[in-house]
Structure 1
Amino acid sequence: MTTDHPRDARTSRALKDFLHDEAAGGVVLVLAAVAAVIWANSPFADGYVAFWDRELTVGGGGAAITEDLQHWVNDGLMALFFFVVGLEIKRELVTGELRDRRAATLPAVAAVGGFVLPAVIFLALAPDDALAGWGIPVATDIAFAVGVLALLGSRVPAGAKLLLLTVAIVDDIMAITVIAAFYTDTVALAWLAGAVLGLGVVVLLRRLGVTAIWPYVLVGVAVWVATLESGVHATIAGVALGLLTPTGRVGGRDVLDLFEHRLHPVSVFLVVPLFALANAGVDFRDGALGEAMGSSLTWAVALGLLLGKVVGVGVAVWLCLRTGVGRLPEGVERMHVLGVAAAAGIGFTVSLFISELAYDDAGLVQTAKVGIFTGSLLAALLSVGLLLAAARRESTDGDDSRAEEAAGRRS
């Protein structure tokens, strides 16, 4: 990606800000997840369950919506998270790495490899009553994964971070498709038609040159409500609205940049940590952890995330390079690819999200979450080990080169 063109420079700055926020947000996400686990295993564990089960009604009369607090976070606030994901997908498709077919081919194929193999491993290992959770290990948590790479600082080349982000974004596109297509029980066609109509109104407002933001917000809320009532998961509305956001200047403002600049910090520092606090509270007491570790569901998820991503992404990249249909970013070596592939196995946020959609049985949900914790932690440790090994190899190769140059000068 060049930076001499003003548009490319703007895209580069936006990408740098996005990566910075994701890395910092990953730290907050870890703290929120740890807090949830501590709360759920403390003497106040009953309060954890009671708090998130508390119902809240918004609106009145026939327009009232009643959800418990956990579902307000999962259905409501997470729509904002997916809206920001939609914005970044749109940016990458129009002005970023995904606009270049050759540059996009490798991360796209890598993401497909990291999508298919985890699902296959899960289906091969999971018990019959848990097969609906095949989508759990296919996801990548951008905040956690980018945060792991950020911890290593300059020892990880910028190209590796870009590769991870691009793979994760393509991964998100597929995960969103899975949520919409496979985790929707019934569809109310009238409400779904209303949601589509609302998206049409957004397009019409753009065509009419409306530059004020508030009409889009009102229509966006209406689209969210219609999607929620339709039976399709309401977060899909956030993605659709993000993809409809223009990438050019409207009324003298870069709308996508404006939304992302204002909403991305809210997403990573508030919405996602709240989601972790509401969903990561797994009760490990009374032998529950030992029971979960002995379950094939736990290992179907964990090995899907760890082995499925490392092998799936790694083999897909190797095939792309071997056939010449893709190329690695500058400065990225094979060991970096494996480190990135392992980081893609950190599936925390979206994996937790899908586990709640896949199962009605609370026991299956809890067991799947143990698998998510296990697989994501092992993937993070493996990623750090591989990337540190790559950095040491580069340092050794650099020292050898300098020694050879010095010897040449002396002779």
Structure 2
Amino acid sequence: MSSLLLKSAKIVDSESPFHLQTKDILIEEGTITQIEDNIDYEGKCVDLPNLHVSNGFFDSSVSFGEPGFEERETLANGVKTARHSGFTSFLLNPKLNPITDSHSAVKFLQQQINTQLIDIKPLGALTKGFDGQHLAELYDMQMGGAVGFYDFKSPVVDSNLFKIALQYVKSFDGLIFSYPQDKPIAANAQVNEDEFTTYIGLKGMPNLAEELQIARDLYILEYTGGRLHIPNISTQGAVKLIETAKAKGLNVSCSVAIAHLYFNSEKLEDFDSKYKILPPLRTLKDQDALLLAVKEGIIDMVTCDHEPMDVEHKDLEFENASYGSIGLESSFSVLNQLFGVEKAAELLTKTKRTFRLSTSKIDTEERADLSLFEPHSEYIFNTQHIHSKSKNSMFLGETLKGMVYGSIYNNSIYEN
């Protein structure tokens, strides 16, 4: 794609001088060269109904399967899925085989990723093989391109190890991720502990398991200093703990999975394993608190928490099924339905700064890193909307609002 005209596109970018204006946008050699009311142009043109455009979508928690779990998802198809879903960059979780816990593992991933098509930033493991006992090659991994350190959905049980990790990464401004779950209290529970799940006979995980771990992490962060990210919070109490920590000036950020904003534990009535995720779906009271915290900015970001699972691990009785749901394809539609187009675009584009990643705005002489969508149509989400190799989406059968047309990045366009 040497040049391209976006015709009558409504710009959704609060940092752009053209925010909420409908303009023609000319892109040449990957750079926005003109933004005008009308541009005469005879080359390739994208002229779509109710076209809206924002900066390229970003997500802080995406899992694929390659290397090691290619039956779930490959890198090549995962990249195509992300681009078709409007995403031009994301953080890639280290739960692979082998686990991304060394400089060589980070470099291997970077060599496998076609950086001409998408900007993927790998996360490195915090401990070797997720063993929870020995710190991985944190400095070497950051020098190799890792933007943070995370034992994906495995809590750091050893408080002293967590303290040492925070102290160590301060010397090179590293970022620690800490999954919020007290493992002994959570035990083998698979759903939230509440009146409804008790009634249907499922072993419950109390909010205490999440909140106790967060309280410990924040207490240690206050002692050590440094940078901490808490992914996938899911309870009202977690929101209050993080709000208090931010008021103290601690350098902490957090995310919430889109599923926890849209669903609650009552979805488990039919024991459908597609709703089995970590953390588990919580109560309506927790759901409302999370929605409010996103609107008020207490929660820094949302994540689709894209985690493909093959049918052999997911299409089982609830107790035996694996955790996880894909989410790239449904992210924009769900957020647009919950918050409206402006807030949805903000949530999907403005959080790169937390991870010290470069950003752009929609203006002339800026690189064309864009997502294309329309926010008004309603549709029932089904397998035809899924590009992922795995089909384990929680949103199958849901009526959603707004469709992604595709994305533009590094002089290439993906269109649905």
Higher relative contact order (CA 8 A, sep 6+): 1
More strand by share: 2
Q: Larger Rg: 1 or 2?
A: 1
Shared topology, TM-score over 0.5?
no
> Shorter-chain TM-score: what band?
under 0.3
TM-score using structure 2 length = 0.27
TM norm structure 1? 0.27
